[in-house]
């Protein structure tokens, strides 16, 4: 009796491999299932009622997060400022139509300077 030839490591046996043209997931994604990004977008677009200066106002959760980051940045939280700057750049890149408040070409050198200072400050606070 002849021994079976040794297989290469991590190579599945030929009889259990996918055939040419055969999908690894033949049924595909179930209908009605939602991606993680869609779930996040839906949740951030939900509105919430908040008391502001004694009045009730409606804001989306996304607006509240951005307001909080900006408020913490004004208080001197460098990590909040850095995160807000990153989010602003991501938003400017991902939006095909830039809003009026988007970062302009003239603002980029200033933002780079601010980001450099923030990184230095964050490194200094981490070293302490």
Distance CA 98, CA 107 (A): 14
Distance CA 62, CA 32 (A): 25
CB 81 within 8 A of CB 118: yes
Of residues 128 and 75, the one with the higher pLDDT is 75
pLDDT digits (tens, 9 = 90+) for 47-96: 999 998 899 999 999 999 999 999 999 998 889 988 988 888 877 766 54
CB 70 within 8 A of CB 82: no
Task: Specify the number of domains making up the chain.
Answer: 2
Question: What is the domain range of residue 90?
Answer: 78-128
Residues 94 and 117 placed together within one structural domain of the fold: yes
Residues 95 and 64 placed together within one structural domain of the fold: no
CA dihedral 29, 35, 38, 43 (to 10 degrees): 120
Categorize the per-residue pLDDT at 106 as very low, low, confident or very high, splitting at 50, 70 and 90.
Answer: low
Residues 87 and 51 placed together within one structural domain of the fold: no
CB 103 within 8 A of CB 114: no
Residue 126's closest CA among 86, 82, 88, 87? 82
Of residues 128 and 16, the one with the higher pLDDT is 16
pLDDT digits (tens, 9 = 90+) for 10-59: 787 888 787 787 777 778 778 888 888 889 999 999 999 999 889 999 99
Place of tokens 């807000």: 84
Residue 76: enclosing H or E segment and its boundaries? none
Residue 12 inside a domain? The answer is no
Give the global pTM: 0.50
Residue 18 inside a domain? The answer is no
């Amino acid at each position: 009796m002849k021994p079976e030839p040794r297989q290469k490591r991590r190579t599945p046996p030929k009889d259990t491999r996918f055939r040419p043209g055969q999908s690894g997931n033949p049924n595909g994604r179930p209908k009605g299932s939602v991606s993680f990004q869609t779930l996040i977008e839906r949740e951030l677009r939900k509105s919430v009622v908040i008391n502001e200066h004694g009045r009730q106002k409606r804001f989306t959760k996304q607006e509240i997060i951005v307001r909080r980051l900006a408020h913490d940045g004004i208080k001197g939280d460098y990590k909040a400022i850095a995160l807000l700057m990153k989010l602003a750049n991501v938003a400017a890149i991902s939006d095909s139509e830039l809003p009026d408040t988007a970062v302009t070409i003239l603002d980029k050198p200033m933002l780079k300077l601010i980001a450099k200072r923030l990184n230095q400050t964050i490194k200094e606070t981490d070293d302490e």
